[in-house]
Amino acid sequence: MAGYNTNEFRSGLKIMLDGDPYTIVENILVKPGKGQAFNRVKIRNLKTGRVVDKTFKSGDSVDAADVMEVDMQYLYADGEDWHFMDQNTFEQHAANKTAVGDAALWLKEQDICVVTLYNGAPLSIQPPNFVELKIVETDPGLKGDTATGGIKPAYLETGAMVRVPLFVDQGESIRIDTRSGEYVSRAKES
């Protein structure tokens, strides 16, 4: 397996630690004037998303993680897996529930997502930062009420629940920031 020396450490590098793939978020050289040098890193576990602080003795080697981030088009879900297609190779990949996780709430067919492949299989899915989804259920809109700032829950075609302003209606499409899960605006008419 390929490896990296600590002097190759930089943010974004994918490494293996205790059997899990990690990405380096931050790398700092720590060295006393007289003494051992260390690389202090923040690394994110690509399976769990947890960020941990670790320190390596400078000069040590670690295994590289076979991890790639690929833009893929979301095709469909078959009740068990979610299917994606690499638009360059037309290769299709099935991601299971663990890999898709909360991203399932924001997946709309034909949207382009970032699929993280680990040893060739989808490990995690990152939906687009903004998606447009249809409201399938919400309380009737209060026409013209754009001023009071009140909110109500709305259920989307994907099953997600978002808080929307009172004036937004069932059947409308809205724009959502998937990073915060918050309503941004009504979708522009296409």
Q: How far is the CB of 143 from other proteins (least distance, A)?
A: 53
Q: Does 16 bind other proteins (CB under 8 A)?
A: no
**Residue of 11, 49, 53, 179 that binds other proteins (CB under 8 A):** 53
List beta partners, residue 175. 132, 185
**Residue of 16, 20, 25, 37 that binds other proteins (CB under 8 A):** 37
DSSP code, position 64? B
Strand positions, DSSP E, the chain: 3-5, 14-17, 20-30, 38-45, 51-57, 61-63, 67-77, 82-86, 92-95, 112-118, 121-126, 130-138, 151-156, 161-165, 173-177, 182-186
Window 85 to 124, contacts with other proteins (CB under 8 A): none
Q: Does 55 bind other proteins (CB under 8 A)?
A: yes
Q: Does 36 bind other proteins (CB under 8 A)?
A: yes
Using CB under 8 A, which of the segments 30-38, 108-116, 132-140, 171-179 binds other proteins?
Answer: 30-38
CB atoms < 10 A from the CB of 179, how many? 11
Using CB under 8 A, which of the segments 24-32, 88-96, 140-148, 163-171 binds other proteins?
Answer: 24-32
Q: Does 28 bind other proteins (CB under 8 A)?
A: yes
CB atoms < 10 A from the CB of 14, how many? 20
Q: Does 136 bind other proteins (CB under 8 A)?
A: no
**Which residues neighbour 79 within 8 Å (Cβ) at sequence distance 6 or greater?**
none
Q: Does 64 bind other proteins (CB under 8 A)?
A: no
CB atoms < 10 A from the CB of 122, how many? 23
| Residues of this chain that bind other proteins (CB under 8 A) | 7, 17, 28-38, 40, 52-60, 62
